Structure 1
Amino acid sequence: MDELTKLKRKITTSFKLSGFVIRSENSAYLAEQLLPFDEAEREKWLTVITDNLQGQRLQTAQVERGALEKAINEINRVGLDEGETVFAVIDAFKVPRYHYNTQYKKFELNQEARCILARPALKAAHLRDRYAMLLQKTLRHELFAPQIIQGGVSTESQVKKFKLLYAENLLASSTVKEAVILGLLTQLKEGKFYLEDPTGSIELDLSATRFHSGFFCEGSFVLAEGSYNNGVLKVDGLGFPPAEPATSSRAFFGTQNSWGGDSLKLLKYSVRLQELENTNTEATLVFLSDVRLDNPVVLERLRMLFVGYDSCPPIAIVLMGPFAASNSNYHALSQHLTALGALATGCDELKKQTDLIIVPSCEDPTAPNILPRAPLPESLTSGLRKAWSRTICASNPCRLQYCTQQIVVCRLDLMAKFCRNTLHFPTDTDNIEQHFARTLICQNHLTPIHPIAMPVHWGYDAALWLYPLPDLVVIGDSCQSFSTTQHGCTVLNTGSFVKSKFAFKVYIPATHVIEDSEIPDDMTSLSA
């Protein structure tokens, strides 16, 4: 019996004692990694690897190649603390949920159990949580913050101050000349719009309203300024809650991990990860949307993409659906995904170093048109996983963490929903992407729109929050691609891979640069 075979048996036995099952090809892979070490070192490495696997919280006892590679990569990391990961994909259903404590003026973790079929009380509770989040940052803004008094004399500011009122303040009065109120824009009666907060609702007169930048859809929270008389608020100006930089927002969460993942502390503050992020200037993330695998031309271009990146593998390639026509059946989609894995045949470096992240659209089968949407089931992707062991089926939306960077990925045709449902269409259509980004950033939410237009699981609404603002928000919208940065947050729309002549986006975390790329007609290079 040769040494490699003996080592494979030892690995199998060691894994069984730790409660794991490992297939022959995976034990052979691990044996090749441990073969250069002496007997004592092998024992040590086996112990450390099985401990790491237990910390990964695997769904089954079966250890796949991807889990082994992740364990080895994490062990080889130099100088990182326990719980610190270079790259992680965070499921929307595991995103922590926070509520604002008005007494202590900070966000606290809500550990209440959640489920898809939520209690009816959560229908209002998730909106109250959003209102509390937007209210606390609005009250801190210089327009609403109280004046600072020094030595008995107030320091007058050049900025006009406003006093934020509540619905109950107006309802208790007959006339208020200057009123500013934050609330949910809603249509309680057909054809009549109201502003609603936890204390009541006020009817709005929007006949002479000046709308600020953004899309004002029913279901969004707005700031209304005007005069109140006889139960109606005649709105002079309608705007959004002010945006707040992430650095200011995080102060009210402390060091706890508000982003999600296995780490107890927020990795945004990790000095070691920041150093790694700055020095790894070649690291990239690739984003494609509307990747229709039932189109032979799409498969051909994806093959070119994989071959082109085999010599310089990115951290991850994110593919967003729909992956087939809406009338495709379950079996056909499974075959298309298996064919996707076959495209990477021969791209060994790519499959070894790059995570392939699959984000479904609401048109893909097995889940309803409600956000967050569950990942594609393993039965659909078994062939793809076998060919590309580092495949990760993600939820929609999902969160990515690369070193200290926070990235949100969502596949949704959101621009069309905003345009169809807004009360006032922006006049400067040349800057429509600025209005789009401002809506998301000021609302701090991915879908600030009526639930009829985009239903949301009440118990998991926190997965759609953009508070504190992430570094990058990637929207897979089939409209024209664009990218814009506001208040330190970049909003990127990938556009349609099919409609844009096979264009895609490349993000370089070290420099925060987004490159427009496309797949050429030949396989010699990828143009950027």
Structure 2
Amino acid sequence: MMIIQSPKKSPRKNQAKSPEKVAKRAKPPPPPFFAPKNAGPSSAIPSSSPAFATPAHPLRPFQPPAPAKAAVLPIILPPATLRPLAFRTFTKKHSLTLTSSALQELATFIGRHCGSGWREEGLAEKVLEEVARAWKNCNGGVIVEGTSPELKDILKTLEGNMSGGKILTGPRGGLSRQNSLMLEPTDDADNSNTRLGLRPATTLTRDDSQASFGMSAMDFDEEPDDEGVRDVRRWLKVISAFDQPRYTYNVAKKHFERITSKPSLLPSASHKTEAFRNRYNVIHQRLLRNEAFQTSAVTSARSSALRRGASSMQSHKITPVANLLGRHGTNHMLLGMLVILPTGNLAISDLTGTIALDLSHAVAIPEDSAWFTPGMIVLVDGIYEEEEESVGRGLSGSSGVGGTIGGRFQGFFIGQPPCEKRRVTLGISGLDGGADHTVGGGFGWVDFLGVGSERAVGSRMRKLEQRLLRQPALANPDSPGRGRVVIVGELNLDQPRSLQALKKILSLYATDPEGSTPMAFVLAGNFTTHAVMARGGSGGSIEYKEFFDALASTLADFPMLLTTATFVFVPGDNDGWVSAFSGGAAVPLPRKPVPDLFTSRIRRVFAAANAEAGLSSADGKGGEAIWTSNPSRLSLFGPNHEIVLFRDDMSARLRRSSVRLKSKASTTATADTDADANANTNANRPPGEDAMDLDPPPSPPSPSDQNQKNQTSDEPPPPYDTLVARKLVKTILDQGHLAPFRPAVRPLHWDHAAALHLYPLPTALALVDPSAPPFCLTYEGCHVVNPGAVLVAGRRGVARWVEYPVGRQGRVRECTF
């Protein structure tokens, strides 16, 4: 084997090589057939001195030099000088409130980066405008805090996009007017220069920016093309009470703050006080915005004579309980909770103290319009009496014990705090609900349900609702419509006739045309007549599961409804597991859904129906069964429609624990009796004694008044069931709470008490109360429905339920089976 060695190259020849080869001596260039095919022409520059092997450098594209930043002479800008401009930009234009610390931060930033041209060149106004937009886009709330990390991030981001006091705009890293928080990379190789000038480690993606508004969970698209997205049920979301965001009202900031601490079923005792304080503050701030409680500066400046002439136009004023001391015999109006003292007497309590309450002469305003029970927050108008005056009547409380002040409060009028419409609370008005149609600031930026705030996604969701729900209904008015929710009342599965009634109801909707079936069915408990799991030898959990297996067999007969609708199951007090230790008594609210152990067969029925139809509930195209809490909420098209589902015998509980008041009829009868007694006394008076001063006899009515009275008397009074329904609805919505009772009557989980608030008012409230008559009523824009029990008492073979077209008037329906 012969080894041939290549001859060594002389140094002289090595010097004659081109400069390119010298520069790449360690790595020789590849052969031509290994060169990349898309390689461009060589940009090598021939060396000026090849003998000395001068290295060559490739040509680079010409880059213009970066413009030098204009020098800005910083100034010290006092916050008081910037306040008028900041107020006009933040408060007048964007409905935001600046704190003193935030104003100081903005003044320091503008003085350092805008210099002396902040006023003449309008630099400060542009900076404030951009900060306000960025603050609203990041959902920072109505109040701008100077210590908040959001404001510091906004100012830090803005600092990297300013030159000479001006904000740079354009394709190379400037601020965008579409969305100041939505980032997009530039055409740089490292993508480090984004629209806001942030580094990649701190950039926000599109999903992150939308998550603050609840948009990422809804996959919002103004032009939905997918057939599954075009379905109305795609925009329906069931929100459990344990998944609902928890908010508390901050009195100092006059805004709602989200509670970030982890809730517990066994919290400390201080959380009970915080739950009462939050409930009181919500009603108090709502009441102060009412026209009847707003003080007019013009009226207060008038003379006493004019004020006496316009006494009916004067506003009311709420007096704290602690301010009654030393004001004997004066008239006041109190806002507080009705409580029962250890002595057994009734009292009223607010955040400052407690005082004994005498309602023996009190009249409800309006008469017989609502119930008043201990645990409710009410308005009482009356006179305060010192302790010496009330000791003889046995109505004085334990003075000084538990914050109870001495004396008593003699109430003459008692009423519910008036509720507030949903549009007023959220600060929207008009059909489109755009930014140009607002009523005050409101709480439109607060995401109460976790589906997006009203001001963020409300207007776009209304457009989507108009296209997917309203326009098809107008094009085909004879069609039943897809946007319906069928609410079936108390369904006792241990009664065979209940399953027969449910089967008849489902058969009526199974015959609807394709694409017009209801989008949701709500089935409410109690699913057993008695607390089966607490009855020992009656079968217990095994019998309880057999009831749901029978329900699964009934649902399996309607595969079309199972694949096109959402079935929501709301438990009652007799359902597991909580009824195992409560025995059917009132359980703490909110309560968890029925465990999956008992409902597994129903889920399999839905899965089999979807599989047979080639659908899947995971992608939102198939039907599904959702076992939710009590209470729970249905959200349709984000914050546009909020339907509260609640199962409770509230009417019976109100009648058992209500306070009996004196009616106007009894007052009139007593006055007539006193007048007759006075007349008889004057007739039988001895001679020479002066007659008593009596009121003059009433003048005879005029013919017009008589005709009006006859016309009024011809109108029949409302039915008794309607009066009871109105009384129940007004009591619940005015209280703004689903359990306005004492903890001993209706206990609560203190950390989840915020889920029971009805503020802002929902668009609809489905109250399943068999102790009340079935009804469909609207009060202050909130539509309240009650289907009662599915089996009509006293009528054999009759089933009853409520059909509610979302956004319209519901109706109570009946059928025979």
Both structures adopt the same fold (TM-score exceeding 0.5)? yes
Query: How do 1:351-362 and structure 2 match up within 5 A?
Result: 351-362=562-573
What SS class does the counterpart of residue 572 from structure 2 fall into?
A: coil
C-alpha deviation, 1:308, in angstroms:
2.4
What SS class does the counterpart of residue 253 from structure 1 fall into?
A: coil
C-alpha deviation, 1:142, in angstroms:
1.5
Please state which structure has a larger fraction of its residues in strand. Answer: 1
Question: Cα distance 1:280–1:326, how it changes in 2: closer, same or farther (>3 A)?
Answer: farther
C-alpha deviation, 1:343, in angstroms:
1.4
C-alpha deviation, 1:186, in angstroms:
0.3
CA contact (8 A) 1:122 1:459 kept: yes
The alignment's C-alpha RMSD in Å is 2.8
CA contact (8 A) 1:426 1:435 kept: no
What SS class does the counterpart of residue 303 from structure 1 fall into?
A: helix
Q: Which residue of 2 aligns with 1:416?
A: 652
Is the aligned partner of 1:168 residue 2:322? yes
C-alpha deviation, 1:174, in angstroms:
3.6
C-alpha deviation, 1:232, in angstroms:
1.1
Question: Cα distance 1:74–1:241, how it changes in 2: closer, same or farther (>3 A)?
Answer: farther
Q: Which residue of 1 aligns with 2:462?
A: 271
CA distance in 2, matches of 1:106, 1:442: 21
C-alpha deviation, 1:509, in angstroms:
1.1
Q: In the alignment, which of 372, 387, 399 is matched to residue 633 of structure 2? A: 399
Query: How do 1:99-118 and structure 2 match up within 5 A?
Result: 99-118=248-267
Query: How do 1:442-521 and structure 2 match up within 5 A?
Result: 442-479=734-771, 480-500=773-793, 501-510=798-807, 512-521=808-817
Moved more, 368-377 or 410-419: 368-377
Q: Which residue of 1 aligns with 2:505?
A: 305
Counterpart AA for 2:410: K
Q: TM-score, normalised by structure 1?
A: 0.79
Q: Is there any run of 5+ residues in structure 2 with no aligned partner, and where? A: 1-206, 212-223, 387-406, 428-441, 474-480, 533-539, 580-586, 608-623, 664-717
Counterpart AA for 1:256: V
CA contact (8 A) 1:74 1:85 kept: no
Aligned residues: 446
Q: Which residue of 2 aligns with 1:23?
A: none
User: Whose relative contact order is higher, 1 or 2, with alpha carbons under 8 Å and at least 6 apart?
Assistant: 1
What SS class does the counterpart of residue 513 from structure 1 fall into?
A: coil
CA distance in 1, matches of 2:412, 2:246: 36
CA contact (8 A) 1:444 1:466 kept: yes
CA distance in 2, matches of 1:273, 1:202: 53
Is the aligned partner of 1:349 residue 2:560? yes
Q: Which residue of 2 aligns with 1:376?
A: 594
Moved more, 141-150 or 352-361: 141-150
Deviations 1:275-316 (A, max 9, x none): 134235412101112101122222122222223222332111
* Larger-gyration structure (1/2): 2
Moved more, 219-228 or 142-151: 142-151
Deviations 1:428-479 (A, max 9, x none): 9661211111111110011111122211111111111111111111111112
CA distance in 1, matches of 2:813, 2:445: 37
CA distance in 1, matches of 2:576, 2:225: 34
Is the aligned partner of 1:127 residue 2:317? no
What SS class does the counterpart of residue 433 from structure 1 fall into?
A: helix
Counterpart AA for 1:506: E
Query: How do 1:167-246 and structure 2 match up within 5 A?
Result: 167-171=321-325, 173-212=326-365, 213-230=369-386, 231-246=407-422
Q: Which residue of 2 aligns with 1:338?
A: 549
Q: Which residue of 2 aligns with 1:320?
A: 524
Query: How do 1:18-29 and structure 2 match up within 5 A?
Result: none
Q: Is there any run of 5+ residues in structure 1 with no aligned partner, and where? A: 1-51, 57-72, 522-528
Counterpart AA for 1:289: G
Q: Which residue of 2 aligns with 1:24?
A: none
CA distance in 2, matches of 1:113, 1:280: 44
Question: Cα distance 1:150–1:182, how it changes in 2: closer, same or farther (>3 A)?
Answer: closer
Instruction: Tell me the percent identity.
Output: 28
Question: Cα distance 1:143–1:151, how it changes in 2: closer, same or farther (>3 A)?
Answer: closer
CA contact (8 A) 1:311 1:350 kept: no
Moved more, 442-451 or 139-148: 139-148
C-alpha deviation, 1:365, in angstroms:
1.9
Counterpart AA for 1:387: V
Question: Cα distance 1:426–1:493, how it changes in 2: closer, same or farther (>3 A)?
Answer: farther
Q: In the alignment, which of 419, 423, 426 is matched to residue 250 of structure 1? A: 426
Counterpart AA for 2:799: F
Q: Which residue of 2 aligns with 1:47?
A: none
CA contact (8 A) 1:362 1:370 kept: no
Q: Which residue of 2 aligns with 1:42?
A: none
Deviations 1:1-34 (A, max 9, x none): xxxxxxxxxxxxxxxxxxxxxxxxxxxxxxxxxx
CA distance in 2, matches of 1:425, 1:475: 26
CA distance in 2, matches of 1:294, 1:74: 46
CA contact (8 A) 1:322 1:364 kept: yes
CA distance in 1, matches of 2:588, 2:225: 35
Moved more, 417-426 or 351-360: 417-426
